[in-house]
Chains A and B, each alone.
Chain A
Amino acid sequence: MMFLVIGITLSLPSIGLLFLDNASQLSNKIKYEAEISVFLTKDIIEDQIEFIESGLKKNSLIKNIHFEPKQDAWDKLQTKLKLSSLEGGISENPLPDAFFISLNTLDSDQIANLINDLKTIEGIKEIVIDGGWIKKLRSILYLIKVGVYTLGALLIAVLIIVISNTIRLQTLTYQDEIEVSRLIGATNSFIRRPFTYTGIIYGFGGGLITLGILKVIVIIFNLITHRIEDFFGGLIVIQNFNLEESILLIFTAILAGWLASFIAAKQAIYRLEKNI
């Protein structure tokens, strides 16, 4: 029964982590183009704009270039805000010319270098990196990850308490043996040993059950998504934990079991010491 309790309890954060892992992988796969906006100086001359444009076109990191002249930008803005230049009290177009560029790379170092290079070009006033929605997605995933880890820590605390209590009850059952052993010269670690072994076995067995539960859930989920993959326009397959992660899970479970039983046995012996 203990094995089931441990197994199911550990499954909760594990499922969370599993889905997080897969979601991160998915978001990495989604085609994402880095975009930057290059704003030019106010009184830039036509030749300089052409010079910049030809330079940009030659850059291997740059995929697409879209030039928006300041007049177009100004018209768009006015339409959006429903203003005409006289009403707004603005006589002059305050907006600059701009290049909207999409890049061939996602590497932040390369992007940073590119921006530094571009900044040195005369006529370029400001460069803004667009993140867009993918950044939001990634931040949300990060938040969820923190949440899952917090949940995991709390559940492990619960586990430790539950195992600790079970071991404590066991020490009560073996009270006579503990008492006699102490009287005839057993060390405390000798007395603790069978209890800590039990705790380790609880952790190990529970961890195995968690892995089993995860396996079943992954299989079921993949069966379901296989049926509805048309809606997603592609195959979504959830991958289970790899060997490293599985071992880490089992190790965490064993550690929790050991810690719980160690504390429980130590306390039980201490209480007995005070009575003898």
Chain B
Amino acid sequence: MDVLQDINLEIDAGDLIFVTGSSGAGKSTLLKLISAVERPSSGTIVFENQNINFLNKNEMPYLRRKFGMIFQDHKLLYDRDCFDNVALPLQINELDPSDISRRVRAALNKVGLLNKEKLMPITLSGGEQQRLAIARAIVSRPSILIADEPIANLDKNYASEIMNIFYSFHQVGVTVIISSHEAPTTSIKHKEFNINQGKLNLEKNVPLLT
């Protein structure tokens, strides 16, 4: 039994996308397929005019670096401080230490955590941890941000803070894809893909692949 069936959708650069649906509907799976963490059992995923099904294992890492990813369980590393957490993507890209410092601090500043650079993630609040995860996702300045239920466990104040950060990135042209089990409440122009038991809910005005 496939988690997702008959999914056809198109995402343009600079879009603000919401993937909605109840828990277990398949939102995470869709995001994992888009970010090349998982391969589809059938069908094709085309990214920048390239069918990513045919990418071999050695090319995968380079594709994944194009996305900034925020995971459902944010996957912060608790054995290092905030600075080192955010620096990880840049270390993977093997940047100079001076470049890394500059960019990490810029990212921390953007999410308002610059003064907590040397703290360990365990000492941060839930909202701050989420912001740290966002900082790590944006530090390499990807053109696509993918966030899997970023505000699921946050209270209203933190939630709107986080959403504003995403909207600000969208404003400067980043493609933002957010999954949530609630309907989006923003007035910013966006697309919504609602998934119901693995299938796209066509009633919700979802643009089809043309």
Contact = CB atoms under 8 A, between A and B. Distances in A.
A185 B64 contact: yes
B75 interface: yes
B71 A183 contact: yes
A184 B64 contact: yes
A188 B75 CA distance: 19
A188 B58 CA distance: 8
Contacts, number: 39
Interface stretch (A51-59, A90-98, A131-139, A174-182): A174-182
A276 B58 CA distance: 16
A185 B88 contact: no
Given A181-B88, A276-B37, A186 B75 contact: no
A141 B94 CA distance: 54
B43 interface: no
B61 A187 contact: yes
**Could you say which interface size class chain B belongs to?**
10 to 19
Q: Is the interface of A mostly helix, strand, loop or mixed?
A: helix
Interface in B46-83: 58, 61-65, 69, 71, 75, 77, 79
A184 B88 contact: yes
Given A185-B89, A185-B92, A190-B92, A180 B64 contact: no
A182 to B, nearest CB: 8
B62 A185 contact: yes
A181 B92 contact: yes
Sorted nearest first, the 7 A-B pairs with minimum C-beta distance are A185-B65, A185-B64, A186-B92, A185-B61, A187-B61, A180-B75, A184-B89
20 contacts: A176-B75, A176-B77, A177-B77, A179-B75, A181-B88, A183-B64, A183-B69, A183-B75, A184-B69, A184-B88, A184-B92, A184-B136, A185-B61, A185-B63, A185-B64, A185-B65, A185-B89, A185-B92, A187-B58, A276-B37
